[in-house]
């Protein structure tokens, strides 16, 4: 890996992983079918009323412009419902349901080791108002545990690593918190892991920790006059939640956040799902984390690896892009509305993610049984 900013911590008992770049190995599976239009059409209609209407400051306008598909979707719907139908069906052709394309997916993975990457919020747990209450169900936990028995599995989240671990509570998985800036590979993972003897900790934004803590305190202080706001410390990045803030106050809240960040040019501000996210400007993201994890798990320069990344957020796009660039595996976007995405397939919500994970386990168990019967 060529990134100069990567600082790999080496505390007692931890082994530093060496990372190298990989080349694309096989072509992307081409999406084909068109399914589930009705449900998504309803959501497109909701988008018209539930978008970020009214937040008209310059920063927000530019963020809105960075998501042209949403604006396009709303405009098409307003102009003509039949055009909206076409728009949705077109999107579904390009990003068909991973459930209806399940056979194609398993065929593409034949002879290769699937490695599973899972985002947390909006993927394993439904989006809720209070970020501290975003629990995953026991059924979802069982599905993730089962998947990790057959396929090395990593959770990749914007959350602080400890917090996402508290939600998932599966010690055998790899965890990448703070949008991939805090990676931990356990010393002894499940048998599905190829290289499971060494524990790894990678914290490429380590030197930003004092700055992030300072900015956290400043943001709590500066935004406390805004009812409903919640500032979350995710260790190497911060989240300012505005889901429970009156829309009329969104613009002034953005100004408050920007005023704090003026003094910190090495931090950047991005927009997630009703959340302003602050993180270091280092060249590290969920895509780099995915690449790093593949290396740690022993799949460097491996032709026979098939990574699947499932996520719902803009930050997951970096991982989708990484997979496209590598020409390995594919991304699955969790979304009820059409979004511009680098993912090949789609799932509508966490409950569909669970069904997909369960089907993968069933398929794997069935293929192991049929092999042993031959
Ligand atoms: O990468 P992720 O695991 O998807 O984390 C992204 C952000 O997720 C959380 O916020 C989102 O989920 C909350 C709970 O459902 C919701 O209240 C909030 O509006 C969403 O933006 C998390 O709290 C953030 O820190 C993460 O950055």
So what's the pLDDT on residue 62? 42
Residues 7, 207: contact at Cβ < 8 Å?
Answer: yes
- Looking from the CA of residue 133, the nearest atom of ligand 1 is 14
So what's the pLDDT on residue 20? 26
Tokens, residue 175: 């965890």
Candidate from 137, 140, 158, 333 with most ligand 1 atoms within 8 A of CB, to mutate:
158
So what's the pLDDT on residue 196? 55
Look at the block and give the residue holding tokens 């699937």: 114
Structural domains in the chain plus CATH codes: 37-94 (no CATH), 102-205+283-373 (3.40.50.1000), 207-280 (3.30.70.1020)
Considering only CA atoms, which of 314, 287, 309 is closest in space to residue 353?
309
Q: What are phi and psi of 360, to 5 degrees?
A: -60, -45
Considering only CA atoms, which of 131, 143, 37, 138 is closest in space to residue 361?
143
Task: For residue 356, count other CB atoms closer than 10 A to its CB.
Answer: 22
> 352: CA distance to ligand 1 center in Å?
19
So what's the pLDDT on residue 268? 96
Enter the ipTM: 0.99
So what's the pLDDT on residue 44? 39
So what's the pLDDT on residue 66? 35
Q: Which residue lies with its CA nearest to atom 26 of ligand 1?
A: 158
Q: What is the CA radius of gyration of the chain?
A: 21
Q: Which CA distances in Å does 223 have to 39, 160, 257, 294?
A: 38, 21, 7, 39
- Looking from the CA of residue 311, the nearest atom of ligand 1 is 4
- Looking from the CA of residue 277, the nearest atom of ligand 1 is 27
Residue 241 CB–ligand 1 contact under 6 Å: yes
So what's the pLDDT on residue 137? 98
- What is this structure's pTM? 0.84
So what's the pLDDT on residue 355? 98
**How many Cα atoms are found within 13 Å in the side-chain-facing hemisphere of 211?**
18
Look at the block and give the residue holding tokens 């505005």: 242
Candidate from 162, 167, 245, 275 with most ligand 1 atoms within 8 A of CB, to mutate:
275
Candidate from 122, 178, 231, 316 with most ligand 1 atoms within 8 A of CB, to mutate:
122
Largest CA distance in the chain: 69
Residues in the chain, total = 374
Residues 291, 115: contact at Cβ < 8 Å?
Answer: no
Task: Enumerate the β-bridge partners of residue 125.
Answer: 121
So what's the pLDDT on residue 190? 58
Tokens, residue 80: 């003509």
> 295: CA distance to ligand 1 center in Å?
27
How far is the C-alpha of 219 from the C-alpha of 180, rounded, in Å?
Answer: 23
Q: Which residue lies with its CA nearest to atom 20 of ligand 1?
A: 273
So what's the pLDDT on residue 50? 27
So what's the pLDDT on residue 347? 98
List, in order, residues 6 or more apart from 325 with CB less than 8 Å away.
24
Helix (H, G, I), strand (E, B) or coil at 249: helix
**pLDDT tens track, the chain, 374 positions:** 333 333 233 222 222 232 222 222 222 233 333 333 444 544 433 332 223 333 445 555 543 433 345 566 667 677 777 888 888 899 999 999 999 999 999 999 999 999 999 999 999 999 999 999 999 999 999 999 999 999 999 999 999 999 999 999 999 999 999 999 999 999 876 566 655 567 899 999 999 999 999 999 999 999 999 999 999 999 999 999 999 999 999 999 999 999 999 999 999 999 999 999 999 999 999 999 999 999 999 998 888 999 999 999 999 999 999 999 999 999 999 999 999 999 999 999 999 999 999 999 999 999 988 876 64
């Amino acid at each position: 890996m060529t990134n100069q900013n990567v600082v790999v911590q080496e505390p007692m008992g931890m082994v530093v992983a060496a990372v190298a770049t990989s080349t694309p190995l096989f072509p992307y599976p081409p999406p084909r079918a068109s399914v589930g239009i009705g449900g998504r059409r309803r959501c497109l209609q909701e988008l018209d009323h539930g978008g970020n209407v009214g937040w008209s400051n310059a920063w927000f306008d530019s963020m809105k412009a960075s998501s042209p598909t949403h604006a396009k979707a709303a405009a098409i719907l307003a102009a003509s419902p039949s055009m909206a139908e076409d728009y949705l069906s077109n999107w579904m052709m390009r990003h068909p349901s991973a459930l209806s394309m399940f056979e194609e997916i398993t065929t593409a993975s034949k002879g290769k080791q699937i490695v599973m990457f899972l985002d947390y919020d909006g993927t394993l747990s439904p989006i809720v108002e209070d970020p501290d209450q975003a629990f995953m169900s026991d059924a979802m936990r069982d599905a993730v545990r089962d998947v990790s028995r057959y396929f090395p599995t990593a959770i990749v989240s914007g959350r602080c690593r400890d917090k996402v671990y508290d939600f998932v509570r599966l010690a055998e998985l790899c965890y990448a918190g703070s949008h991939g800036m805090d990676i931990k590979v356990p010393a002894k993972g499940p048998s599905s892991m190829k290289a499971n003897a060494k524990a790894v900790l990678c914290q490429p934004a380590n030197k930003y920790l004092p700055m992030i803590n300072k900015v956290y305190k400043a943001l709590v202080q500066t935004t406390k006059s805004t009812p409903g706001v919640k500032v979350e410390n995710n260790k190497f990045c911060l989240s300012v939640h505005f889901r429970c803030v009156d829309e009329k106050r969104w613009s002034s809240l953005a100004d408050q956040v920007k005023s704090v960040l003026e003094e910190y040019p090495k931090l950047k501000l991005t927009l997630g799902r009703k959340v302003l996210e602050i993180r270091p400007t280092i060249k590290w993201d969920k895509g780099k984390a995915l690449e790093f994890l593949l290396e740690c798990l022993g799949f460097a320069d491996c032709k026979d690896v098939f990574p699947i990344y499932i996520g719902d957020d803009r930050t997951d796009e970096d991982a989708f892009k990484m997979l496209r660039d590598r020409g390995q595996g594919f991304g699955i976007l969790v979304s009820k509305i059409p979004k511009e995405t680098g993912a090949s397939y789609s799932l509508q919500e966490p409950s569909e993610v669970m069904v997909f994970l369960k089907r993968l386990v069933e398929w794997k168990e069935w293929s192991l049984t049929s092999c042993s019967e031959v």
